[in-house]
A and B are shown apart, each in its own frame.
Chain A
């Protein structure tokens, strides 16, 4: 077994991990499921909720897992989901 050496980065105190806000515009969703399927962090899952189009929009499982990669924003054919960096000026 190789020895695993863990060390704390020197600038760990200065660097803040960005936190994400995932926004779902439920009524624009047609329910294709791309955002759920191709999210690298499994942030989303299908909801039981029906929107005005009769589709099941995604729901957020765990927003803290979102790495802000923006793939869901880009791959959504219906402009129904986007992520932004959380405003943490006053603490998150």
Chain B
């Protein structure tokens, strides 16, 4: 679809996280949005409904989240960058077709503005309760990518990053924000269109007669033909061979396929994973945090330093694939790790797995308020000399 540059934003803007996410999507070339209203992600849909027609894109409000994600997969296979945005209950409804996206290696971005759960839970309150669901919510073995923005600027930047990763690896990519990041207003710098890095899916170089839609290159990612390009490919959620032919009774094909779907992410995790290291060089205690909790953590670390506590922060920008190496490296250097999360213990499990002998202190927070810096500081205070 044609892009009208006059409709692209640039320069400094004051906006909320949901709007910044929508603008990031438009900046990276997303031209299809299918969604269903849900608090606290609705503002993304509203912004897309206004903005996409201005840039020759398509906004459609579907009958439910099952349809939204299905339409996104349809649009992506027709060659358009596509996304949806939702929150807990809608995210749960999307799980089956997220599995289809994994299986058919359909690039797409799913934004989950997390609220309190389980079930309808607390629609207007923040939470970080869906991080494990993002990783494991659909059935079967697979890998996905998930990014966790902690500011409105990152809602813009990481939406772009999410599309680029999704297009690179042909994998559904999640932006896991929370109600506070989604609704918070901050300044956002939008670079000129020229300076925004845009990655598009690899196209096939073989003629249609030789093309296998699931025949990978060396990086384990197959080039992607789209509908109407003359390749006449077939894709299915059934276990399939490199040519998309169903092979539901072959152990070998199942083994190779599942292994490749996982390994294309695992083997490339060094290229995918991003973390932010703050004051970690000489740290004796470190906070591992992401999203909204990392903001209080940063403040707590600075306060701790002022009190002579050698504290540092490892902020996870990528939570999936989990930054094993980066967390392990910090865990080996410090006396303890502190993990604040707005849930009852999710990413802390991964931290404990990687930290091995190093003690891990978990700070749970549920409900309206995010962690206060002082609460995290209290935990760090135990390491005062």
Does A touch B (CB under 8 Å) in the complex?
A: no
Q: List A residues at the B interface (Cβ < 8 Å).
A: none
Q: List B residues at the A interface (Cβ < 8 Å).
A: none
